[in-house]
Structure 1
Amino acid sequence: MAYSNTIRTADHGLIDQIRNLVSNLRDAHRRYKMYRQTVRELSALSDRELNDLGISRSSIRSIAIEAAYGK
């Protein structure tokens, strides 16, 4: 009579999911900090300095989003 014995190792699925979640949260936080820093730095410029860079004040947030999160 033949039989089969299956030995399973510990399932690290939950641990891997938690690690991925933490990694994603860190990445999201880093990107948000980059967004806020870009908005802060561009907002500190005068209208003349922004004009020299070819940036209107109304486009600061969209530029910061692109800088932090890509297109």
Structure 2
Amino acid sequence: MAQANLVQSGEIRPLQRLEAFVALRLEALVKYARYRQTLRELNGLTNAELADIGLSRPTLRRAALEAVYGSKEING
């Protein structure tokens, strides 16, 4: 409740900004670790196992990214 009042009045304390920054960075690190683990697991599958789930070696990075970060249009 107090936090809502601070946000509405535009008064966000520096500590709150730091906490928000740390939380966002921590979330990014956790997601990256999950992406790396997913990619490791996919790389551990045989070509036949990958084919069974509709993947091939060149598509593993994209599949891991989509699994962790969600489907997003990637340009380039």
- Scaled by the length of structure 1, what TM-score is found? 0.79
Structure 1 vs Structure 2 CA RMSD: 1.2
Structure 1 residue 12: deviation in Å?
5.1
Based on CA coordinates, which of the two structures has the bigger radius of gyration? 1
For 1:16 and 1:34, how far apart are their aligned partners in 2?
Answer: 27
Runs of 4+ in 1 over 2 A off after TM superposition: none
Instruction: Determine which structure has greater relative contact order: mean sequence separation of CA pairs < 8 Å that are 6+ residues apart, divided by chain length.
Output: 1
- Which position in structure 2 is the counterpart of 1:30? 30
Task: Count the aligned residue pairs.
Answer: 61
The percentage of aligned residue pairs carrying the same residue is 38
- Which position in structure 1 is the counterpart of 2:7? none
For 2:62 and 2:45, how far apart are their aligned partners in 1?
Answer: 16
- Scaled by the length of structure 2, what TM-score is found? 0.75
